């Protein structure tokens, strides 16, 4: 399997497949493909795993795209302005990403829901209690809104992040929610009551424009009924 990411703000990824190679995505995730690609839709992993994917922001049904002969092409397009991040995962290696972050992956990669360890993180984290977990071996692609900033945190090195801007992180990173200090900061600081707190070791990927922020900004310019 080979790939090429194209574009700037509305990116696509071209996947070149050899005979027998398969990529999968959520239903409706494919943009275009060559005529030697076979498409097969199913409830991968059974009903319970399908329900879990639904809770984590993906469709219950997944679609396999398999090259039948020669060299095949299947292209996936980003659903919003941002960046496509390729992940090359070793056997047993995992990555945790935001709800709706999964784009597509090789058939060997496992997609499942991931619960935040602390209840407070889920209730007040801005992106819900359930995340997505991708586990190798294989290559997967994640879509992140806006521009992407990556930090490789040292042990005990920490960042405070406005909730919603945390797009993806390695499982070694400790994630929690902390309260903003100071009444004036809470009432007039514009950041709300809570911030995300991430502590190393491990990598984190931050997004400049969460979809909920973009939707809120656009809503100001939509005509009211």
What mean pLDDT value characterizes the chain? 83
Give the pLDDT mean for 174-203: 70
Give the pLDDT mean for 119-135: 62
Place of tokens 């095949």: 72
Strand order in the sheet with 138-145: 37-42, 62-67, 22-26, 102-106, 138-145, 82-89
What local confidence, expressed as pLDDT, does residue 47 receive? 53
pTM equals: 0.83
pLDDT in tens, 10-59: 999 999 999 999 999 987 789 999 999 999 998 665 555 555 545 545 55
What local confidence, expressed as pLDDT, does residue 162 receive? 84
The yes-or-no verdict on residue 167 having pLDDT over 90 is yes
pLDDT in tens, 69-112: 999 999 999 988 999 999 999 999 999 998 889 999 999 999 98
Asked if residues 56 and 99 have their Cβ atoms less than 8 Å apart, the reply is: yes
Top-confidence residue, 193 or 144: 144
What local confidence, expressed as pLDDT, does residue 106 receive? 97
| Fold that domain 2-219 belongs to in CATH | Double-stranded beta-helix (3.60.160)
Nearest to 1 by CA among 80, 76, 96: 76
The CA-based angle 143-60-95, given to 5 degrees, is 40
Domain locations along the chain: 2-219
Percent of the chain with pLDDT over 70: 79
The yes-or-no verdict on residue 190 having pLDDT over 70 is no
Beta-strand runs (E) in the chain:
2-6, 12-17, 22-26, 30-33, 37-42, 62-67, 72-77, 82-89, 94-97, 102-106, 110-115, 130-135, 138-145, 148-153, 158-162, 166-169, 174-179, 194-199, 202-207
What local confidence, expressed as pLDDT, does residue 171 receive? 95
82 dihedral zone (left: phi>0; alpha: psi -120 to 50; beta):
left
What local confidence, expressed as pLDDT, does residue 92 receive? 96
Q: Is 71 helix (H, G, I), strand (E, B) or coil?
A: coil
């Amino acid at each position: 399997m080979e790939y090429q990411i194209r574009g700037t703000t509305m990116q696509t990824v071209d996947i070149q497949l050899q005979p027998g190679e398969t990529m999968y995505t959520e239903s409706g995730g494919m943009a275009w493909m060559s005529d030697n690609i076979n498409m097969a839709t199913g409830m991968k992993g059974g009903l319970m795993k399908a329900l879990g994917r639904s809770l984590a922001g993906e469709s219950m049904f997944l679609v396999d795209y398999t090259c039948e002969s020669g060299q095949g092409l299947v292209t996936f397009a980003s659903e919003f302005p941002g960046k496509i991040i390729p992940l090359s995962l070793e056997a047993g290696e995992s990555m945790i990403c935001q709800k709706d972050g999964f784009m597509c992956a090789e058939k060997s990669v496992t997609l499942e829901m991931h619960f935040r360890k602390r209840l407070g993180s889920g209730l007040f984290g801005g992106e819900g209690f359930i995340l997505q977990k991708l586990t190798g071996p294989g290559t997967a692609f994640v879509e992140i809104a806006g521009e992407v900033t990556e930090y490789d945190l040292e042990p005990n090195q920490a960042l405070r992040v406005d909730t919603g801007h945390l797009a993806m992180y390695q499982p070694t990173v400790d994630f929690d929610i902390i309260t903003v200090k100071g009444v004036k900061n809470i009432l007039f600081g514009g950041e709300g009551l809570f911030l995300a707190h991430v502590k190393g070791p491990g990598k984190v990927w931050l997004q400049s424009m969460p979809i909920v922020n973009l939707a809120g900004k656009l809503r100001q310019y939509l005509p009211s009924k």
